[in-house]
Amino acid sequence: MTDAPAESADPNQPAASGQAKILDPTGLHARPAVKLTKLAKTHEATVEIRAGEEGKWVNAKSPNAVMKLKAGSGEILFVRAEGAQASEAVNALVALIERDFDAE
Amino acid sequence: MTETSGERILEGVCAADGLVVGRAVPLVSSAHVHRAAGSPGEERGVLVQAIAHASEQLDKLAQSQDEMGAEILEFQTALLEDEDLLAPVYAAVETGLPADQAWMRVIDGEIVEYREGEDDYFRARADDLLDLRDRVLSVLQGKEPARIELDGDIIVARDLTPSRFLELDWSVYRGAALCGGSPTSHVAILARARGIPLVVGLEDALETLQEACPAVLDAESGRLILGPTPGTLEEIAGRLHARKADDAAARSLIGEAAATARGEHVEILINADDPRVLAEVPVAQCDGIGLTRTEFLFSDGMLPDAQKQYEVYRDLVTWAEGRPVIIRTLDAGGDKPIPGVTVDDESNPFLGLRGVRLSLITPEVLKQQLRALARAAALGPLKIMIPMVTVPEEVDAVRALLNAVLSELAAEGVAHARPQIGMMVEVPAAALTAERFKVDFFSIGSNDLIQYTTACARDNPAVTRLANPKNPAVLELIRRTVEAAARMGVEVSLCGDMASDPERIPDLLDCGLRRLSVAPAQVGRVKLAVRRYG
């Protein structure tokens, strides 16, 4: 479900965005939230996520902020990144959400 | 609290099943000591060190735990690495606040946010923050987490944080009773996974228990009995003895199909009060879902949109892997008020507008639910159950609404299927005349059937004894319903608390029931009771 990376106004500040649906029936709970932030932290780019189109963008590297999204099962998580390897960061996060956070 | 000759019975909620006779001992957390604060620069250094130290403690604790314990601690460790969370703490230190106060101020603010809202899972995360707050505070105050050595084996505490729970030596302590807590908290999940009996919501337990005393932790019925009388102890000893033998037998049966001693098959379905519990239940242990209460969907007073409802129902059908899934339409009213849906100030809510009576007054809500259910029915054998039916016209009205919804879906080209429609049998009028109702199945709701047959309100402790499931009138109504279903050639099951109580199983099987819907935790014990029958 990844969108094509958005066009960036500044070629030195690449930007990207994507989205994926939360599959886990309990929603984005503590374990996935931690996994997501850990993955986000492996990327240098600024990464933000929000739950639903009306949601507030929060820092995807903050477990507290991600947990407080209270994103439920079936909700769409939007991911956007800016900076070095922004599209890699977005793709990695979207893939993680699509894999249902590698839940056993 | 009730009192008989020194015996004090405190009523709470069972969070992890079990029965312990022992010594209740209060676990009181030590008061915070004030520490001398340094300059902002020094305080910053102290805080950095304390956070690093707390992080090490958590890592060490996680290493000594199994996977589940480690996962629960993982969230706390991650919070200590959360720059967004820590930034305001350091900012407060820069303004001259001592490290401990800055830490407490920020984390307390977060805890308040987590406690707000209706989502139990989210609220339970407040425990994680509280746990973390106290861990860092005790490091800041130069205290290592106290090693607890208590003269007793039933811990009575205001609340237990997940890490505190994991630090306790559960080979010494055998159960816990908490004033706060919820059955969906991390501590409850841990207790269930480890088989530690846990009762929560015992509001004034700590005030009542001034010092250690003999006690019974009855986590079968969610009670703490302080200073039990010899009579109580004798009764508990009997239950304990039977329990030990049964536990082993029940474990060996849990994955097998239920059959009576004569080899007659009995279907065991489960009650999905909250779909989140399904994550802990292997689907192969049951024959489907016999009751899904949908009130949880409406818990924040707002109606979830059709798509969200559909997704919840879809997940249930997916979980069941082809087994039947019975979903009850909204059963609001009575003791389950929902703001904006139920009627306020009824003089007797149990005899008022509840269940289908309420749904038919606000058909928009019901219609939206039926639409989501019909869509999910395309994915597997989903069945709709109507609560609180008294007369056949109520079923007919719901069926007419369903027909309208199905036509709409067909016209829109949306994937759907016609679900079976059944009804709860919980009003004596329905139980006595079941054959008048044109339904695909019956499910007997024993809790309300007992309440209405014995004229004992479920929320009135003074008449609890009278509301006896063994009352012959109750059993007679169950028998009549089962017989009517047989004559009509439709399925019948029972989904109330009676089906989850092994002692009631022989009576239910005597009535002719061969399909029971039980609490997920009771599947093994119920299968054992079935095995012993006949």
Give residue B354's pLDDT.
93
Best A21, A49, A67 residue to mutate vs chain B (most B CBs within 10 Å): A67
* Predicted pLDDT at B147: 55
pLDDT exceeds cutoff 90 at B427? yes
Q: What is the pLDDT of residue B29?
A: 61
Per-residue pLDDT for B294 more than 70? yes
* Shared domain check, B152 and B8: yes
Q: Which of A3, A6, A27, A29 is catalytic?
A: A29
**Cβ-defined contact of A70 to B117 (cutoff 8 Å):** yes
For residue B299, the chain A residues in CB contact (below 8 A) are none
SS3 for B62?
A: helix
A3: pLDDT strictly greater than 50: no
Lowest mean pLDDT of B294-303, B373-382, B455-464, name the range. Answer: B294-303
The pLDDT of residue B452 is: 96
Question: Is pLDDT above 80 for B332?
Answer: yes
Contact A63 B79 (CB under 8 A): yes
- Tell me, what DSSP letter sits at residue A5? P
Third-level CATH fold of A15-102: Histidine-containing Protein; Chain: A; (3.30.1340)
SS3 of A23-78: the string is CCCCCCCHHHHHHHHHHHHCCCCEEEEEECCCCCCEECCCHHHHHCCCCCCCCEEE
Nearest to A62 among B75, B85, B114 (CB): B85
Residues of chain A with Cβ-Cβ distance to B122 below 8 Å are 67, 70
Residue A9 has a pLDDT of 47
User: In this structure, are B114 and B202 located in the same domain?
Assistant: no
What's residue A5's pLDDT?
A: 45
Q: Which of B75, B83, B307 sits opposite A34 (nearest CB)?
A: B75
- Out of A28-37, B26-35, B305-314, B316-325, give the one with best mean pLDDT: B316-325
Same domain membership, residue B442 and residue B356: yes
Least confident of A90-94, B99-103, B300-304: B300-304
- Amino acid symbol at B338: I
Q: What confidence tens digit (pLDDT) does each residue in A46-101 have?
A: 999 999 988 899 999 999 999 999 888 889 999 999 999 999 999 999 999 999 88
CA pair distance B378, B323, nearest whole angstrom: 14
Indicate if B173 and B102 belong to the same structural domain. Answer: no
Domain of residue B64 covers 40-140
CB atoms within 10 A of CB B375: 24
Give yes or no: residues B136 and B195 share one domain.
Answer: no
The predicted model gives B254-269 an average pLDDT of: 94
Taking 50 as the threshold, does the pLDDT of residue B98 lie above it?
Answer: yes
| Residues paired with residue B514 on neighbouring β-strands, in sequence order | none
Q: What average pLDDT does this structure show over B358-363?
A: 92
Residue B472 has pLDDT above 60, yes or no: yes
pLDDT at position A4, please? 44
Which of B373, B352, B397 has the alpha carbon at shortest distance from B297? B373
Give the number of beta-carbon pairs within 8 Å between A and B: 64
B77 has pLDDT over 90: yes
pLDDT at residue number B273: 65
Contact (CB<8Å) B119/A70: yes
Sequence-separated (6 or more) residues with CB below 8 Å from residue B486: B492, B512
Decide which of B259 and B121 is more confident.
B259
pLDDT at residue A19 is higher than 50: yes
Residue B303 has pLDDT above 70, yes or no: no
Instruction: Please name which of B430, B145, B446 lies closest in space to residue B291, comparing C-alpha atoms.
Output: B446
Q: Among residues B140, B173, B189, which one ends one of the domains?
A: B140
Greater pLDDT, B4 or B315: B315
Beta carbons of B74 and A68 less than 8 Å apart: no
> How high is the pLDDT of residue B401?
97
Contact between B504 and B469 under an 8 Å Cβ cutoff? The reply is yes
Confidence tier at B70 by pLDDT (50, 70, 90): confident
C-alpha separations of A51 from A28, A67, A80, B84, B264 in Å: 10, 11, 12, 19, 51
CATH classification of the domain holding B203? 3.50.30.10
Distant-in-sequence, close-in-space partners of B169: CB < 8 Å, separation ≥ 6: none
Mean pLDDT (chain B, rounded): 88
CATH code at position B97? 1.10.274.10
Query: What percent of chain B is modeled with pLDDT above 70?
Result: 91
B511 is catalytic: no
d(CA A8, CA A24): 33
- Do B45 and B116 belong together in one domain? yes
Measure CA of the first residue to CA of the last residue in chain B; give whole Å. Answer: 40
Which residues of chain B lie closer than 8 angstroms to A70, CB-CB? 117, 119, 122
Among A54-58, B162-166, B323-327, name the most confident range: B323-327
Kindly report the nearest CA distance between residue B307 and chain A, in angstroms.
Answer: 9
- Which residue of B lies nearest to A59 if distances are taken between CA atoms? B84
Percent of chain B with pLDDT over 90: 51
Q: Specify whether B465 is located in the same domain as B508.
A: yes
Is residue B287 very low, low, confident or very high in pLDDT (cuts 50, 70, 90)?
very high
- Number of domains composing chain B: 3
Can you give the pLDDT at residue B277?
66
Q: Is a pLDDT exceeding 60 seen at residue B18?
A: yes
Q: Please indicate, yes or no, whether residues B219 and B306 belong to a single structural domain of this protein.
A: no
| DSSP per-residue codes, B269-302 | EEEESSGGGGGGS-GGGSS-EEEE--GGGGTTSS
**Exactly one of B14, B179, B213, B495 is catalytic; which is it?**
B495
Q: B210 with B279, same domain?
A: no
End-of-domain residue from the set B100, B117, B140: B140
Residue B503 has pLDDT above 90, yes or no: no
A30-41 and A86-98 helices, crossing angle to 10°: 160
Q: Is B128–A30 a contact, with Cβ atoms under 8 angstroms apart?
A: yes
CA-closest candidate to residue B268, choices B249, B290, B246 = B290
Question: Known catalytic residue: A43?
Answer: no
Strands B19-27 and B213-218: antiparallel
Return the pLDDT at B222.
Answer: 86
Split at pLDDT 50, 70, 90, the class of B444 is very high
Which of these three, B93, B111, B140, is where a domain ends?
A: B140
- Predicted local confidence at residue B504, as pLDDT: 92
- Kindly report, residue by residue over B519-531, the tens digit of the pLDDT: 887 899 899 999 9
Instruction: Band the pLDDT of B30: cuts 50, 70, 90.
Output: low
Would you call B195 helix, strand, or coil by DSSP?
coil
Q: Please count the CA atoms within 13 angstroms of the CA of B510 that sit on its side-chain side.
A: 11
Q: What is the mean pLDDT of residues B441-469?
A: 86
Q: Residue B1: which pLDDT band, with cuts at 50, 70 and 90?
A: very low
Q: Is the pLDDT assigned to residue B534 strictly greater than 90?
A: no
Whether B383 and B449 share a structural domain: yes
Amino acid at B84: D
Q: What is the ipTM of this complex?
A: 0.86
Residue B148 has pLDDT above 80, yes or no: no
Are residue B132 and residue B47 in the same domain, yes or no?
A: yes
Q: Is B82's CB within 8 Å of A30's CB?
A: no
For position A6, what pLDDT does the model report?
46
Contact B75 A27 (CB under 8 A): no
Q: What is the pLDDT of residue B192?
A: 75
Question: CA-CA distance, B23 to B45, in Å (whole number)?
Answer: 44
B169 and B302 belong to one structural domain:
no
User: Buried b vs exposed e over A47-83: b needs ≥16 C-beta within 10 Å?
Assistant: bbbbbeeebeebbbbbbbbbbbbbbbbbbbbbbbbbb
Gap between the Cα atoms of B11 and B1, Å rounded: 7
Q: Is the pLDDT of residue B356 over 90?
A: yes
Residue A41 has pLDDT above 50, yes or no: yes
- Nearest-CA distance B498 → chain A (Å): 29
Nearest CB to B125: which of A26, A30, A59? A30
pLDDT tens column, B168-205: 888 888 999 998 877 656 787 778 767 789 998 888 88
Residue-range domain boundaries for chain A? 15-102
